Structure 1
Amino acid sequence: MAEITFKEKPVTLRGNEVKVGDQAPNFTVLANDLSEVTLDDSKGRVRLISVVPSIDTGVCDQQTRRFNEEAAKLDGVEVLTISVDLPFAQKRWCAAAGIENVQTLSDHRDLSFGEAYGVAIEELRLLARSVFVIDSNDKVTYTEYVSEATNHPDYEGALEAARQAK
């Protein structure tokens, strides 16, 4: 398992670490209108999944804004941001921030995504900051488990992986 700290304190991740080359695990999360969304809903497309502990905090806000800005330039790539924030809070934040190119999804109900991708922080019931790229055949082509949850991910690495995925 990836070793993660949150504010420099070690935390326990639940679930299985996902590695490049793995078949992407399916999951069920909630859209801002409370409808269920699964990985299968975007089958056949490249997906960049940006995972944040809480969208309403500094680094998470910046990460979501950055991927929103880049999403407009990523032809044929669907960009998803997943957190455990309630769908209502995500919707309100997106409206206030002018987020239109990224779909925000909530894993608050049962941590389906967090456990499937090994990013559910047991001690905090948050998701560890991470990024995954999944190709159109549902193969994982990029993973980053950010070692300190308050740090930024490697934006350029993730974006290049998304551009290269087919």
Structure 2
Amino acid sequence: MAQVTFKNEPVTLLGEEVTVGSIAPDFTVLANDLSTRTLNDYEGKKKLISAVPSLDTGVCSQQTRKFNEEAANEQDGVVLTISNDLPFAQKRWCAAEGLDNVVTLSDHRDLSFGENFGVVMEELRLLARSVFVLDKDNKVVYAEVVSEGTNHPDYDKALAAFRELN
């Protein structure tokens, strides 16, 4: 299991760690209109899943913007940003940032994504900063759980893994 800190304090990650080579587990989250979404809703597409503690912070905002600017136009691909922010707050953040095509999903209700991917910080009930790249069959080809929650992920490695998929 990954060792993670948040603001230099150790946190406990809940759930099963998702590793490269495994098939990604399904999850249920909420879209901005409160409808449910699952991994199966993005069937047949390569996926870059960017998990952040809260969109309303500097690093999370930059991470969301970077992945969407760099990867959202990939053919047969989708970028999903998942946080525990309420769907209303996610929608408001997208509007304030002027981002129309960002797919933000909320894990606040069930922690389904966080627990299934092993990235719930128990002490904070937030998602650990992490990035997962899945092929069209949901095989995990890249996984990073950032060791310090206030640091950036390795954008170059994640984007390279996403772009290499056909």
TM-score, normalized by the shorter chain, greater than 0.5? yes
Structure 1 distance, partners of 2:60, 2:72, is: 19
Q: Give the structure 1 partner of residue 144 of structure 2.
A: 144
Aligned residues of 1:69 and 1:101 also touching (Cα < 8 A): no
Q: Residue 159 of structure 1 aligns with which residue?
A: 159
Indicate conservation of the 8 Å contact 2:72/2:79, yes or no: no
Give the aligned partner of residue 66 of structure 1.
66
Q: How far does residue 138 in structure 1 lie from its aligned partner after superposition? A: 1.1
User: 1:17, 1:117 within 8 Å by CA — same for their partners in 2?
Assistant: yes
- Scaled by the length of structure 2, the TM-score of the pair is 0.97
Q: Which runs of 4+ in 1 moved over 3 A?
A: none
SS at match of 1:60: helix
- Specify whether residues 74 and 140 from structure 1 end up closer, same or farther in structure 2 by C-alpha distance, changes over 3 A only: same
- The whole-number CA distance in structure 2 between the counterparts of 1:135 and 1:72 is 15
| 1:53-92 equivalences in 2 (<5 Å) | 53-92=53-92
Partner residue in 1 for 2:39: 39
- Give the unaligned 5+ runs of structure 1: none
| TM-score, length of structure 1 as denominator length | 0.97
* 1:109-164 deviation line (CA, Å, top 9, x unaligned): 01000000000010000000000001001100000000000000000101010011
CA distance in 1, matches of 2:102, 2:141: 20
Aligned to 1:25: 25
Equivalents in 1 of 2:111, 2:60: separation in Å? 18
Tell me by how many angstroms 1:165 deviates. 1.9
- Kept in 1: contact 2:72–2:78 (CA 8 A): no
SS, match of residue 136 in structure 2: coil
CA distance in structure 1 between the aligned counterparts of 2:150 and 2:44, rounded to whole angstroms: 33
Shift of 1:68: 1.7
Cα RMSD of the aligned pairs, angstroms, is 0.9
Report the identity percentage. Answer: 69
- Tell me, yes or no, if the aligned pair for 1:146 and 1:153 is still in contact at 8 Å: yes
Alignment partner of 1:104: what SS? strand
Question: Which stretch shows the higher mean deviation, 65-74 or 101-110?
Answer: 65-74
Choose 65-74 or 10-19, whichever is displaced more.
Answer: 65-74
List runs of 5+ in structure 2 lacking aligned partners.
none
Of residues 96-105 and 8-17 in structure 1, the stretch that sits farther from structure 2 once superposed is: 96-105
